Amino acid sequence: MNDSQLLRYSRHVLLPEIGIEGQQKLLDARALIIGAGGLGSPVALFLAASGVGTITLCDDDTVDLTNLQRQIAHRTSGIGKAKVVSAQATLSDINPEVKVIALQERADEARLSQLATEADVVLDCSDNFPTRYALNRVCQLLRKPLVSGAATRFDGQVSVFDFRRDDSPCYQCLYPEQMESEETRCAVLGIFAPLVGIIGSMQAAEALKLLTGIDSTLCGRLLTLNALNMELRTVKLHKDPSCAVCNSSKTD
């Protein structure tokens, strides 16, 4: 690190759990963020501010006036622009040293596999179950750590599926794909603006810990938040012996 970087990241360097070595890991790291909306905004902002070297944003949507209530990476001037382009400009203003790759596309499973191959950590900030299940399968196959978040109304959740560990459960262990899953889009149900900021910030924190080698992550645990009553709850997760995703690698 040069003198400017030592000054910019000095508050991280002061933490013995991170230090110069950990901060250098962040500078060398590559993060893939799927979704540049409510969750993806705080995730991207904190990863960029923390100096994660390369951030790939993947989202096919454009900025709408209704997004601005909670999607803090975007500005009124960005209405009509691609979310990834809008967020790219914000991140570059926060930290011009970070390389931000903006992909305006809705990635299918094959494309997600290509993108995840190049990443050190993957963050699921999507808003639909097909993408979540596809990302889960891809990351499990590639043994990439996956940080999963979700939020609607006043309720949010976050977990880590660290597929570098043999004992890590996966998203399908938590929510089997064959279950009837109703889409809970905020356009229909509404969403409390700070909730996505809280959950997204937690996702960013977990990603930074994974990248710096801090062991105390949410792997094997699901953290839920009811922001209406401000109640946090943590539930232990275990691998499902009948999980098709976890067992797929055993039969390959």
Report the residue count for the chain: 252
- Strand pairing partners for 232? 225
Active-site option among 125, 139, 186, 246: 186
Picking from 122, 33, 30, 40, the residue whose alpha carbon sits closest to that of residue 74 is: 40
Chain-centre distance for alpha carbon 102:
15
Residues 6+ apart with CB under 8 A from 227: 154, 155, 156, 192, 194, 195, 198
Q: Where are the alpha helices (DSSP H) in the chain?
A: 3-8, 10-13, 19-28, 40-49, 83-94, 109-117, 129-142, 171-174, 186-189, 193-212, 244-251
Would you call 243 a catalytic residue per the annotation?
no
Q: Could you say which DSSP state residue 53 is in?
A: S
Type of residue found at 179:
M
Cα distance between residue 129 and residue 176, in whole Å? 11
Per-residue b/e over 73-85, b at no fewer than 16 CB within 10 Å?
A: bbeeebeebbbbb
Phi-psi region of 143 (alpha: psi -120 to 50; beta: other; left: phi over 0): left
Active site residues: 186
